Amino acid sequence: MFEGLRSRLQKITGSLEDRIEQTIPAEPSVEKTGVPGGAAPAEAAEKDPSLLSRVKVLITDREFFISEKDVEEPLFELQMVLLENDVALPVADEIIRRVREDLTGKRRKIGEPLHEIVTAALRNALMSVLGDGFDLVSYIRNHERPVRILFTGVNGTGKTTTVAKVAAYLKKQGFSVVIGAGDTFRAGALEQIDVHADRLGIKVIQHQQGADPSAVLFDAVSYAKAHRIDAVLADTAGRFHNRANLMNQLEKIRRVMNPDLIVYVDEAVAGNDAVIRAHEFDRTVGADAVILTKADMDSRGGAAISIAHTIGKPVMFLGTGQGYDDIVPFSPARVVEELLGVSA
Ligand SMILES: Nc1nc2c(ncn2[C@@H]2O[C@H](COP(=O)(O)OP(=O)(O)OP(=O)(O)O)[C@@H](O)[C@H]2O)c(=O)[nH]1
Ligand SMILES: [Mg+2]
């Protein structure tokens, strides 16, 4: 996950450290600090062992100052790397602004480990754009049941697989789940969801192909109420936001099913396209959270870094493979750790 961006970030961290290193004033010679007799440091220290610790104090107490000009070049390089890896421009700008603000204009003690200064600046900047994530388990615990969750998104991004994964995840957490087969459009969609549900031992509510998805999902909610089920997971057919008739159908589903959460599903590998589409879906039918699938195939990480900050909605899960267990709650600290190799 995100290995391409990770290796580029490691290089930038190195060049930032090098540039900062150059701003550190050279250590004063021992003569300048007034060592008696002007002897060579080693010789002088041998004669007077307390001298060594005195010299150390003098050096480590000194400070240096990083100006904006000092880091201009590596920050430009960082900006390019972020954009090349599909980080949205306003998000890349925000990251650069924060790193610059964090690194410059402050006095630093000589001897402070540079690697830590630089990675802390990057880590803080990334954390600030990644948002807080969305804890579905505590949402369900604190919410009136059944919690109705509607999954939307464009074709083939992994909605149906994600519905199955989330169902498996919630079941493992001790919740009861029912799936509403809201994709009555695509040939084979009903069979696909049946196979998943059979394997997972989860009930599916479905009508025949071509039926009104609103009616199916209304029935799924009624079933959940009657059987005291904790969560209804509603699958829907893939659609593009510029197809008015399909978006109207989604709007009807929304009115009839009255979801507590609308989850927008897209692929991490789609990069900026995913961010733009999420924005459009949020504008038209609304979105309360985002799930990014296929993070296992994404070496750039741009969508995962940009989407929450751009649309102002949290990321709930990352899909990390084709198995039912290949789903992880989105944790900004984990993403930063993945990218920088340090714990946040
Ligand atoms: N590697 C990987 N593949 C995934 C992931 N999530 C889904 N897929 C695969 O993506 C393909 C499409 O998944 P679906 O769940 O059918 O996608 P969909 O959005 O429901 O598709 P439509 O209903 O046709 O719009 C399948 O082959 C899935 O196995 C993931 O996190 N990682
Ligand atoms: Mg599907």
Domain spans, the chain: 3-25+62-130, 136-332
CB 291 within 8 A of CB 315: yes
Give the model's confidence band at 7: pLDDT under 50 very low, under 70 low, under 90 confident, else very high. Answer: very high
- Report CA(161)–ligand 1 centroid distance (Å): 5
Nearest ligand for residue 163 CA: 1
Q: How far apart are the first and last CA of the chain?
A: 17
Q: Which residue, by CA, sits nearest to atom 5 of ligand 1?
A: 294
CA torsion, ordered 253, 258, 259, 262, to nearest 10 deg: 50
Q: What is the CATH number of domain 3-25+62-130?
A: 1.20.120.140
Using pLDDT thresholds of 50, 70 and 90, give the confidence band for residue 35.
Answer: very low
Average pLDDT over residues 21-49: 58
In this prediction, residue 29 has a pLDDT band, given cuts at 50, 70 and 90, of very low
> Which of these, 255, 277, 259, 254, lies nearest to 267 by C-alpha position?
277
CA of 277 to the centre of ligand 1 (A): 17
Gyration radius from the chain CA atoms: 27
Q: Which two tokens stand for residue 337?
A: 């750790």
Q: Which of 7-11, 56-60, 164-168 has the highest mean pLDDT?
A: 164-168
Mean pLDDT for 281-305 is 97
Structure tokens at 283: 């504008």
267 alpha carbon – ligand 1 mean position (Å)? 9
84: enclosing H helix or E strand: helix 68-84
Q: Is the pLDDT of residue 88 over 60?
A: yes
In this predicted structure, the answer to whether residue 56 has a pLDDT above a threshold of 70 is: no
Q: Up-side HSE of residue 200: CA atoms within 13 Å toward CB?
A: 27
- What's the chain's average pLDDT? 91
What percentage of residues in the chain have a pLDDT greater than 70?
Answer: 89
CA of 158 to the centre of ligand 2 (A): 7
State the average pLDDT over residues 36-49. 55
Pocket test for ligand 1, best of 322, 325, 326, 328 (most atoms within 8 A of CB): 322
Q: How remote is the CA of residue 186 from the centroid of ligand 1, in Å?
A: 14
Range with the poorest average pLDDT among 30-34, 183-187, 224-228, 328-332 = 30-34
Q: Which of the four pLDDT bands, split at 50, 70 and 90, describes residue 215?
A: very high
pTM, 2 dp: 0.89
- Other CB atoms closer than 10 Å to residue 243's CB: what's the count? 12
The values of phi and psi at residue 147, to 5°, are -80, 125
Question: Is ligand 1 within 6 A of the CB of residue 300?
Answer: no
Torsion sign over Cα 327, 328, 329, 330: negative
Q: For 17-58, give the DSSP string.
A: HHHHHHHSPPPPPTTTTT-GGG--HHHHHHH-THHHHHHHHH
10 lines ligand 1 (CB under 6 A): no
| Residue-wise pLDDT tens digits, 106-154 | 888 888 888 999 999 999 999 999 999 999 999 999 999 999 999 999 9
Task: Please report, for residues 172, 242, 317, the alpha-carbon distance to residue 327 in angstroms, rounded to integers and kept in the order given.
Answer: 13, 29, 6
Cα–Cα dist 61/16, whole Å: 23
- The minimum-distance atom of ligand 1 relative to the CA of 327 is 31
**Helix, strand, coil distribution of the chain in percent, nearest 5:** 55, 15, 30
- Which pLDDT tens digit goes with each residue over 267-285? 999 999 999 999 999 999 9
Q: Which of 2, 154, 159, 293 to mutate to test the pocket of ligand 1 (most atoms within 8 A of CB)?
A: 293
Q: Which two tokens stand for residue 103?
A: 């690194």
Fold (topology level) of 136-332: Rossmann fold (3.40.50)
Mean of pLDDT values over 150-165: 98
pLDDT of residue 25: 79
CA pair distance 54, 59, nearest whole angstrom: 9
Q: What is the mean pLDDT of residues 322-336?
A: 97
* Atom in ligand 1 nearest the alpha carbon of residue 297: 1
Atom 14, ligand 1: residue with shortest CA distance: 158
